[in-house]
Amino acid sequence: MTNQELKLKQAGFKITTPRQLILEVLKKYKTPLSAKQIYQYLPQIDLVSIYRNLKLLTNLKIIFQEIINNETFYYLDKKIHHHIVCQRCGRTECLPCNHKYKIKNFTNISHQLILSGLCNHCH
Amino acid sequence: MTNQELKLKQAGFKITTPRQLILEVLKKYKTPLSAKQIYQYLPQIDLVSIYRNLKLLTNLKIIFQEIINNETFYYLDKKIHHHIVCQRCGRTECLPCNHKYKIKNFTNISHQLILSGLCNHCH
DNA sequence: TTTATAATTGCAAATCATTTGCAATTATAT
DNA sequence: ATATAATTGCAAATGATTTGCAATTATAAA
């Protein structure tokens, strides 16, 4: 049983084929993927189930999400990383700390920092 | 003629009632507002026109936008500022530099930095 | 190792933010 | 004043995501 499957089980959820496949895809492609993208790799699984499972896995902190240009992307390994997005075509590049030079491919740069957490009320 | 109206005119666009009212609302409320929120203040104006004008004004850099939780908010004064969003209820607080202490109301904090600009291809 | 049951799935339809097409209206240059 | 292109409002489309519900399936207990 994988580490992720263990977490699922410990939280009292079933280890189902869709869940296993979604995790495998995220593991294989290593990059943040949208529900639609995962669906393209797994057309056997209903898109709705993909959405539901991505939400569950996110709640359990088995996977993590980031929202870019009104679409949510999911990834397995939580490491803080940043992006630069083209305002016109939406092209996105990851900016791992050791690739900062990539910012030279862009002009007209602005930025937005979103911190998220749980407010007192929800905690 | 206001500063914003001047920019519109200089860019060759008409100064229309919807545009004036949208700018007035953004000026009055000072905080980033979504199209829907602006529509609540201006029910006389079609929501579609609000969307179209917000896009135009953004393109002309008369107003600026930021995307939080899959919804776009617009504001008049470009000053870089940051937010913290509750992962559960979506409650959002602005974090102007002089109010950093507000972060104490949140736990479980993670962050995401989005830089945007124009890539070489689109420039 | 069956079986009961609650969790999960797939499908259809709903929802929410945003966009598009088009005919009617309006701001502006002449 | 008026011609004309830009803009509006309305209806309908789109794209991401969610919800309801009946059918299926993983799992724990017999």
Give domain limits for chain A: 3-75
A30 part of contact set with chain B, CB < 8 Å? no
Distance B14 CA to D6 C1' (A): 7
Task: Give the model's pLDDT for residue A19.
Answer: 98
Task: Give the model's pLDDT for residue B60.
Answer: 93
Highest mean pLDDT among B23-32, B41-50, B92-101: B41-50
Residue predicted with more confidence, A65 or B45:
B45
Contact, A96 vs A81, CB < 8 A? yes
Highest mean pLDDT among A32-36, A49-53, B65-69, B92-96: A49-53
Q: How many CB atoms lie within 10 A of CB A96?
A: 12
**CA separation for the pair B27, B76 (Å, rounded):** 7
Q: 41-100 in B: which are within 8 Å (CB) of A?
A: 64, 66-70, 72, 78, 80, 82-89, 91, 93, 95
Q: In this predicted model, what pLDDT tens digit does every residue of B93-121 receive, in sequence order?
A: 666 544 444 556 666 666 667 666 666 66
User: In this prediction, what percent of chain A has a pLDDT beyond 70?
Assistant: 63
Residue predicted with more confidence, B80 or B76:
B76
Closest partner residue to B115 among A84, A118, A121, by Cβ? A84
pLDDT tops 60 at residue A102: no
**CA separation for the pair B47, B53 (Å, rounded):** 10
pLDDT band at A31 (very low <50, low <70, confident <90, very high): confident
**CA separation for the pair A9, A34 (Å, rounded):** 25
Domain A3-75 annotated CATH 1.10.10.10: yes
**CA separation for the pair B18, B44 (Å, rounded):** 9
